[in-house]
Amino acid sequence: MWAMEMVRPALFALALLGAQLAAAADTAPVEYREVDNLYSTEAVVEAVRQSTIAAQVMGRVVELRVDVGDRVKAGQVIARIDEREAAQAQASSEAQVAQARANLENARLSLERAQRLFQSKFVSQAAVDTAEAQFKAAEAQLKAARAAAGQAAVSRGYSTVVAPLGGVVAARHVELGEMAAPGKPLFTVFDPSDMRVIAEVPQSRVAEIKAHGRASVEVPSTGEWIKVQSMIVLPSADPRTHSTRVRLEMGEASKGIYPGVYARAHFAVGREKKLVVPAKSVLRRSEVSGVYVLDSKGIARFRQVRVGEPTGDGYVEVLAGVDAGEQVALEPIKAGMAGPSKAPGS
């Protein structure tokens, strides 16, 4: 029994030492690094490929095959509009084609008869000319009837609504049984594989943004920072706000982000050497920000710091609280559990 009482403190000390060493293993130095000076502004995410599908014929909506959030393929049937009126219009056009074909045949026979009679000197040239004109008019009427029949067939096809692109249904603007009319929106579909960010920047910043040509997009809802693949400064300005729109293409890295999501655009406008720490080493509790700094014995101790803006490469500027060369824990929660000091409010 006495031996066990002697062993327990030793085991506890070893466990504490192991925790401290584990906390000290994942560390990074506080250091000066040359980083981008950033100009940050609010932005919004939008889809590169997005389409609002509208009705092209009049009729009642009789079928809705998809709803908000569903994935669709290009050419997939997503809705149907009552086609009875369009079918009747097509049948009428086909009947007019048959009538025009019969009129053309009759005009051809009349022309041939007039030509034979003219050769026998029974009719004048004027009669032949009249028959020829009637034949050409019948030809034109047949072409017009065929064109009208083709248009009626196309219009009937519009009663079957298909997706113009593959993607996700973002909105459904119609209910089953409602009347559709040409131009009335039915669905909004977007391709989630390629998104971009639209930011408004002051005209005074446009020149330096163009000169450096680098930017990152921060998505606060996910905590992600995405490197911009390309940047397009639109050659126009808003006369009311005196701002210029900048389009930031994110490519494949934008998967999982949806149109309308709030974002922040960070534009490089210069380079400067700053004292930084890894952003993940900073622990925030209410109004307090701090890091766990390893002392000479390898024990992580909490120290309050004043941080500046993120640098966009996984680091954040430190304005006060630590010095260059000190080691900070990359897992502050784990370090706080192992070390003797606790963060305020934790």
Distance CA 217, CA 42 (A): 10
Q: Is the pLDDT of residue 138 over 50?
A: yes
Q: Is the pLDDT of residue 287 over 50?
A: yes
Q: Are 91 and 82 in contact (CB under 8 A)?
A: no
In this structure, what token pair is assigned to residue 75?
């050419």
Q: Is the pLDDT of residue 16 over 80?
A: no
CB atoms within 10 A of CB 252: 9
| Tens of pLDDT, residues 234-262 | 888 888 988 999 999 887 766 778 888 89
Report the DSSP beta bridge partners of residue 190: 50, 168
Angle at 315 between CA 312 and CA 319, to 5 degrees: 110
Q: How far, CA to CA in Å, does 30 sit from each of 303, 305, 327?
A: 13, 12, 6
pLDDT higher at 14 or 228: 228
| pTM reported for the whole predicted model | 0.64
Distance CA 213, CA 215 (A): 7
pLDDT at position 339, please? 57
pLDDT at position 7, please? 41
The residues near 199 (Cβ < 8 Å, ≥ 6 apart) are: 41, 42, 43, 245, 246, 248, 265
Burial of 48 (0-12, 13-18, 19+ CB in 10 A): middle
| Tens of pLDDT, residues 77-131 | 999 988 887 777 778 888 988 998 998 899 889 888 888 888 888 888 888 888 8
What the chain holds in terms of domains, given with CATH numbers, is 40-49+192-272 (2.40.30.170), 58-82+159-190 (2.40.50.100), 84-158 (1.10.287)
